[in-house]
Each structure stands twice: as structure tokens, then as C-alpha cells.
Amino acid sequence: MKLALFVLSDPAAGGAEAVGRLFNALALASEAKRSGDEVALVFAGAGTRWPKELTKLGHPAKALYESVRDVVAGASCGCSEVFEARAGVEACGIPLLTDHALAGTAGLASPRSYLQQGYTTLVF
């Protein structure tokens, strides 16, 4: 199985829903990884704020994130700029994805490219 998991939930919005979406994406990434599936975890939109949050000691999803860190494909470059998260993404060593050239942006992560490669693509 090939899975591309796009995290768009916004940690700045706070609340259980944002954390719940992140947690479910990470849990699916973990399960798929353990099952030997191809997994790509992508942070896009306001979700580009998550990497910085997940490095904080005591974050409830930190350990789960660290267990799937090797399947993080990257974060959308243009989104990280719009949501003022680029410095945090870069500090975490996460690649900036620019596979979808879009006027007025530095490029975005492309869900279509994963679909084209046969990945089941889910958005959290």
C-alpha cells in the first residue's frame, strides 16, 4: 500500500480538533510504517506550523511524531511562507516541497503528484 498523508490542521487554532487530526495522521503513519507500506507524511497549509510544535518537550504527540519522523516527506514551501512557519520547518530539518509551481508562491506540495504515483492520499 502507498499512503500520502497531508496534515493541514492548525496548531495555532488550538483545541482538541487540531490535535486530534494530527494524532490520527501520525497514528496512521505509524501503523502503515509498521505494516511495511510506503508512507509520505506532508505538512501543508496551516499544518506547516506543526513541526516546530512537535519538537517541544511535553507535547502529547512528540513521541509518536519522533517514531514516524523518517516518513516525513516535507512541508509545502509556499504554505510555510504564508503561515509564517518556514523558519520552524527549516530548523527542524524538514525539506521544503515545491513540486507544484504556482504563480505568486515559492511552490507548493502537490497532492496530485502523489495521486499520479498511485498513492492513496488522505487529508487531516
Distance, CA of 72 to chain centre: 7
pLDDT in tens, 63-87: 999 999 999 999 999 999 999 999 9
Q: CATH fold of 2-123, please? A: Hypothetical Protein Ychn; Chain: A, (3.40.1260)
Nearest CA among 31, 35, 57, 55 for reference residue 43? 55
Rounded to an integer, the average pLDDT of 19-39 is 97
- Model confidence at 19, pLDDT cuts 50, 70, 90, reads very high
Say what percent of the chain tops pLDDT 70.
Answer: 100
Say what percent of the chain tops pLDDT 90.
Answer: 90
> Cα separation of 65 and 41, whole Å?
10
Quick one: pLDDT at residue 102?
77
